[in-house]
Structure 1
Amino acid sequence: MRFSTLALLGLVSTGFASEMERLMEMKTAERQAMRSRGDFAKGKHARREKEKCRNGKAGEYACDNVDMLDFISHEEMGSTTREGNDVWGWTSPDGREFGAVGQTDGTAFIEVRPNGELTYLGRLPTQTMSSLWRDMKVIDGYCYIGSEAPGHGLQVFDMRKLLSIKLNGRDASGPVTFNTAMDLTAWFRGFDSSRNIVAHEAAKMIYAVGTRRRTTCQGGLFMVDVSDPSNLTSPGCANQDGYVHDAQCSL
C-alpha cells in the first residue's frame, strides 16, 4: 500500500500508560497460565492436513467460509519456547509470497506456496532475550523487527536472503538460522524496546510506539528514517501527549 499523508491515531496520556502497564501484567499472567496448562508443550501442535470450514470450524479454529490450507507449529519453525505473537508478509518481485512470523524468541520465515502450503525457510533469533511482544513490518523488501525485550532496538533483515534458500537435494541450504550479528543489514539502537512498529512505505519511515528505556521519548512516537536501510537515522520523537500505544498510516 502507498500513502500520501500520514495520520497518527494513538492512544495516549500518562493515565493510559499506567492502564497499559496493568493490562500488560494481566496478559503476562494469562500467558503464564497457558504455559502451566501445557499449551506450549513439546509435540502439542503437530503438522495438520487441510481442513474445510464446516459449521463455523476449520479444525479447532473458528471460520466463516475460509478453509485452513495448511498449519505449521512454532516448534517446527525452530522456536524453543514454541510461542508466537504476530505475523507480516512480503511479496518478492517475481511474485513469491513470504511470511515473517513473530515468536517469543525470534522471527521465523516461511514461504506461502500457490496452493496454500507453508514451507519453513529459517529464523532470526531475538536480538537480546525472549518477550511476549514482537512486531514486524516490511518496506522495500527489508523487514523491520521490534520487541518489548530490553535492549532489542530495531532489527533490519533483508527478506531477499530467503530467495536463495534450497531445502531439497544435495545442494540443500536450509532451513537457516540467521546470525544476529552477521546477517542483519543493520541494528538500530536509538530506542531500547518498543510495543509496536508502524510503517509508512511511501515516506520510507518506521514509527516505533510504546518505546522504553534509553530514550527521552517517554513512550511517545519514535521516528526512524529507513530510506537507507543500512544507515538508519531518527528525525526525532513526538512525546507531547505522553505514551502512544499504536498508530496508523493512512490517506
Structure 2
Amino acid sequence: MKKTLPLIYALFITTLLFSQTPCNNGFAGAYPCNDYDLLANIPVSVLANTQGNPEGSDIWGWTDPTNGKEYAIIAMTNSTAFVDISSPINPIFLGRLDTAAGTSYWRDVKVYNNHAFIVADLVGNHGMQVFDLTRLRNVTSPPVTFTADAHYTEFGSAHNIVINEDTGYAYIVGTSRSGPYAGGPAFIDISNPTNPTNAGGYANDGYSHDAQVVTYNGPDTEHIGKEIYIGSNESEVLILDVTDKNNVVKLSEITYPQIGYTHQGWFTDDQRYFILGDETDEQGYGFNTRTLVFDFNDLDNPILSSTYYGSTPAIDHNGYVLGDKFFIANYRAGLRVLDITNISAATDAMEEIGYFDTHPESNGTAFNGAWSVYPYFSSGNIIISDIERGLFVVRKSGTLNTSTFKTKETITLLPNPAINQTKISSKEGIIQSIKVYNTLGKVVFKSNNINLKSFVLPTKKLTTGLYLVKINNTTIKKLIIK
C-alpha cells in the first residue's frame, strides 16, 4: 500500500532548498512575490548548530576579490553560517563558527578587509569574533566547524557592529547600559583585523541601537571629509562627528511624531537623505509599515522631509539603499523594494515596486519572517535572512542567465519519489561522493570514492519523508521517500 507523506514533511517542503523558482502570477512556489524570483532557500536546521531552538538573525555578504565568488554570512542564534552562493541556484553550505558565549537572538555581523566581525547581544562575555573569510576558498569537504582567528574581549555584549571601511574603524553599538559607554558606541581600530585595538567610545547621549558611519561627502560642505556617525538611539536620530575619537562633537539630534522605537536607518547614495525605520510604531499606533525620510542637507539642522506608509501592517526592520532603490526586510511581509527616485518630494517620495515574501502565513504586525537583507552583490543576487526559514537568495525577475548554471541540470535522481532505491546519474563528469541529509541536517547515508557516472542509492531503510542529497559536495537535490 502506498504511504502518505506525513504533514510535517509536506510543510517542510515549503521551507527547504528550492532553486530557480520564478515569480509567476504572484507566487514563487509557496511564497508571494512581485518581480523577484526565488533562486534558493537553505533552512535554519541546516545552517545552525542544532542545539536548542535556533533561529536566524542578521546577514551580510562578502565577495572574494581574487575570483569574484560571492558568499552569504548568516548570523544564527548559536552560530554564524557561511554559504557559497557564487552559483545562486546551487548554494553550498560551507560550515559555521559557533558562538563565543551562549545563545543570542541578536547576533550581528559586518565585513572589512576580507574578515567577518561578529557580536551578540545579551551575552555578557561574547565580545567580538574575527574570522578570516579567505579560509572559505579552501573548504573541500563541507560543512566544517570553524574557529575564530581572533577574539576581542574588551567589551561583553553588543547589539550590533558598524564599520566604516574607509577608515578601518568598527563602532560597537548597543553595548551594556552599565558599561563604560552606557550603551553608547565603542570605537575599535580594526585596520589590522586580527589585532583589534581599543580607541575609546562615546557615552553622552544614551543607548545607540544601530548606526551608520560614513566618510562624509554630501551637500553640507562644512563637514566634507569628516567621519560622521548617524545613530538610531531608541527615541531620536543622533548625528556625531567622530573624526577625532578623543573629541567627539555632537552636531544635532532629531525626533519625529509618534515615536515607537527608533531602530535603524541608511543614507541615500548622495548622503542628502536618511531613511529611517521605527520598529514598534506599527504595533503602538496601528498604522501600516511606516518609513521616515529626513533631509540632511544641513547636518546641524536636519528636518523630517516625508513619510511613507506601506501596503501591509508588517513591522519594518533593517533597510539598505542601493542607487535608486531601498531594500527593506519587513518581517512578516518579507523583502520590500522601494523606488526612491522621487525622494525629495514632500509626498509620494517612495513607491513599492517589488517584493519577495518569506513569511507566506500572513503580513501581520509581529516579529517573524525577514530579519535583514543584503543587496550589494555585483551579480544582482540579493540575500535575505529569515528568522524561521533561514537563508533566501532572490533576484529581480527576468535577469538570471540560466546558461551560467548548466551544471544544475546534469545530475538526475530517478525515480523520485522513491521507495527502495533511486539511481543518481551524471550526464557530465563523474560522481565522486554522495551524502544524504534528513530534515534536521543529520547525515543518514554517505559514500566516497565512487568514481562512476551513475550510482544506485539504497533507500529502503530510510523513513518516509524529504531528504537532501549532496553530490560531489557541490550539487544538492531533493529526494522524497514514500
Match of residue 183 from structure 2: 219
1:61 aligns with 2:31: yes
Match of residue 197 from structure 2: 233
Q: Is the 8 A contact 1:192 1:214 kept in 2?
A: no
User: Structure 2 counterpart of 1:161, which letter?
Assistant: R
Q: Is the 8 A contact 2:189 2:198 kept in 1?
A: yes
Which of 60, 63, 72 is residue 42 of structure 2 equivalent to?
72
> What SS does the aligned partner of 1:160 have?
helix
User: Structure 1 counterpart of 2:132, which letter?
Assistant: D
Q: Offset at 1:234? A: 1.5
Q: Output the CA distance in 1 between the equivalents of 2:12 and 2:98.
A: 19
Match of residue 169 from structure 2: 205
Match of residue 50 from structure 1: 20
Q: Output the CA distance in 1 between the equivalents of 2:161 and 2:193.
A: 15
Q: Offset at 1:249? A: 2.1
Match of residue 126 from structure 1: 99
Instruction: Give unmatched runs, 5+ long, in structure 2.
Output: 1-7, 217-482
Q: Is the 8 A contact 1:190 1:214 kept in 2?
A: no
Per-residue Cα deviation, 1:183-232 (whole angstroms, up to 9, x for no partner): x2211111111111111001001111110178311100111100112221
Which of 132, 143, 147 is residue 158 of structure 1 equivalent to?
132
Structure 2 matches for 1:1-251, cutoff 5 A? 45-80=15-50, 81-93=53-65, 94-148=67-121, 149-166=123-140, 173-179=141-147, 184-212=148-176, 215-250=179-214, 251=216
Calculate percent identity across the aligned residue pairs.
38
Instruction: Give unmatched runs, 5+ long, in structure 1.
Output: 1-37, 167-172
Q: Is the 8 A contact 2:48 2:78 kept in 1?
A: no
User: Structure 2 counterpart of 1:227, which letter?
Assistant: S
Q: Is the 8 A contact 2:118 2:129 kept in 1?
A: yes
Normalised TM-score (structure 1)? 0.75
Q: Output the CA distance in 2 between the equivalents of 1:143 and 1:70.
A: 23
Q: Output the CA distance in 2 between the equivalents of 1:115 and 1:105.
A: 25
Q: Output the CA distance in 1 between the equivalents of 2:198 and 2:134.
A: 25
Q: Output the CA distance in 1 between the equivalents of 2:13 and 2:54.
A: 10
Give the 3 Å change call, closer, same or farther, for CA 55–150 of structure 1 in structure 2. farther
Q: Offset at 1:150? A: 2.3
User: Structure 1 counterpart of 2:62, which letter?
Assistant: W
Higher helix share goes to which structure?
Answer: 1
Q: Offset at 1:74? A: 1.5
Q: Is the 8 A contact 1:205 1:225 kept in 2?
A: yes
Higher strand share goes to which structure?
Answer: 2
Q: Is the 8 A contact 2:15 2:41 kept in 1?
A: no
Q: Output the CA distance in 2 between the equivalents of 1:225 and 1:58.
A: 44
Normalised TM-score (structure 2)? 0.40
Q: Offset at 1:86? A: 1.3
Q: Output the CA distance in 2 between the equivalents of 1:215 and 1:189.
A: 13
Q: Output the CA distance in 1 between the equivalents of 2:175 and 2:31.
A: 33
> What SS does the aligned partner of 1:76 have?
helix
Structure of greater Rg: 2
Per-residue Cα deviation, 1:76-103 (whole angstroms, up to 9, x for no partner): 1243134101110100011011111010
Give the 3 Å change call, closer, same or farther, for CA 86–158 of structure 1 in structure 2. same
User: Structure 2 counterpart of 1:222, which letter?
Assistant: A
Match of residue 300 from structure 2: none
User: Structure 2 counterpart of 1:152, which letter?
Assistant: H
User: Structure 2 counterpart of 1:106, which letter?
Assistant: S
Q: Offset at 1:42? A: 8.9
Per-residue Cα deviation, 1:103-154 (whole angstroms, up to 9, x for no partner): 0011000001234421100000011111100100000100000111221110
User: Structure 2 counterpart of 1:75, which letter?
Assistant: S
Q: Output the CA distance in 1 between the equivalents of 2:27 and 2:13.
A: 22
Q: Is the 8 A contact 1:193 1:213 kept in 2?
A: no
Q: Is the 8 A contact 1:98 1:109 kept in 2?
A: yes
> What SS does the aligned partner of 2:137 have?
helix
Per-residue Cα deviation, 1:144-180 (whole angstroms, up to 9, x for no partner): 00111221110000011110001xxxxxx3211113x
Q: Output the CA distance in 2 between the equivalents of 1:60 and 1:97.
A: 26
User: Structure 1 counterpart of 2:128, which letter?
Assistant: L
Instruction: Number of aligned residue pairs: give it.
Output: 202
